Chain A
């Protein structure tokens, strides 16, 4: 009662900020907190019920105090829940920007988990999956207005137009302005940075400096 579960939740959120991956959604914890808020709200209305609409805090300080504590707890719980969801949502947005497909990743994990039993459940809540889907749509729409600039491109200042890359995984054939190149594993190329930026981000190529 009174914010104990919410405390755990914010600690959880704090931890998420420094983790490289997203831990499973704390559905039990947030359910507990929601229940707590509803209980508190019911408390408040049952305390207030006998007074009707004419409650005077200065006439009855002890009741007023109880009400205040309940109210503050509800607000605190709400803040904690908001913070937790915001942290997770920001993390998911960052994945969208980096071009990591969170949903895909989770699906492929499920495929592997099929052999080892059902221990690998999605680390996203259904609502979060929906959010990711909609956010990537939004991002794509916004990016579409800046096709010339490629918003998700590298945020490092460009130095050279052409770079050396080594192919880590077969990536098939790509089209460049200077003709097409077939990227086979372990080969090395001298290519235009802009053409292969995406492939480097996806881990197909490695940049040699």
Chain B
């Protein structure tokens, strides 16, 4: 541990919780929109943020009608801030839903595997959405045409016959990352590329190669940008 780390720790503690949550939420939002895979649901962060949004809405509702120009001005600032927060949360949730809709079966199996871990992949309501949407789609397919198929061909998660029906996201997609802490040498699987990642560097690299250091999916030594 050197002087930089000590300074960094002091700096983090002096920043209020609210501001750190905002930074964290922004980071989650950027990462979720960039990463090819769905990232674990940040349940504690979301609970805090949603709780704060709810409190601010109540505050605004309480104080409207007060014609005092001072409070009125304050309210406008609060509401603008509120709109921005709502946008972040909305965009974040929609990005996740979009991924869920694209690779439902793959994500479902990942989620089931992640249930024992500290952070499940999906929130409870997202999981509900996924399962009910899947059953809706399955019912739609089977009433439209699958029901009239031979029984051996009616499955939707068939992996025999060379082509798997379970679609996966492309984990080799290139992402932009910023290194937050020195990582050292990284080898990209399948190629003979090796390089050294130092704090402050920005790289374009395959997601699968850096996944285990990213925030959310790994040690948190680098962030997606």
Contact = CB atoms under 8 A, between A and B. Distances in A.
Nearest to B141: A85
Contacts of B161: 71, 75
Given A78-B153, A148-B50, A85 B145 contact: yes
Interface in B125-144: 125, 128-129, 132-133, 136-137, 139-141, 143-144
Contacts of B139: 131
Interface string A1-35: 00000000000000000000000000000100110
A41 interface: yes
Chief secondary structure at chain A's binding surface: helix
Given A138-B133, A177-B64, A146 B153 contact: no
Interface of B: 50, 53-54, 57, 60-61, 64-65, 76, 79-80, 83-84, 86-87, 89-91, 93-94, 101, 125, 128-129, 132-133, 136-137, 139-141, 143-146, 148-150, 153, 161, 163
Contacts of B149: 34, 37-38, 78
B153 A89 contact: no
Task: Give the contact-size bracket for chain A.
Answer: 35 or more
Given A34-B145, A138-B133, A178-B64, 18 more contacts: A30-B144, A38-B150, A41-B153, A75-B153, A81-B144, A85-B141, A127-B140, A127-B144, A128-B140, A135-B136, A138-B136, A142-B125, A142-B128, A142-B129, A146-B90, A151-B94, A153-B90, A193-B83
Contacts of A90: 101
B76 A161 contact: yes
A186 interface: no
Contacts of A37: 149-150, 153
A125 B144 contact: yes
Contact of A148 (B54, B94, B136, B163): B54
Interface in A108-145: 125, 127-128, 130-131, 134-135, 138, 142, 145
Contacts, number: 105
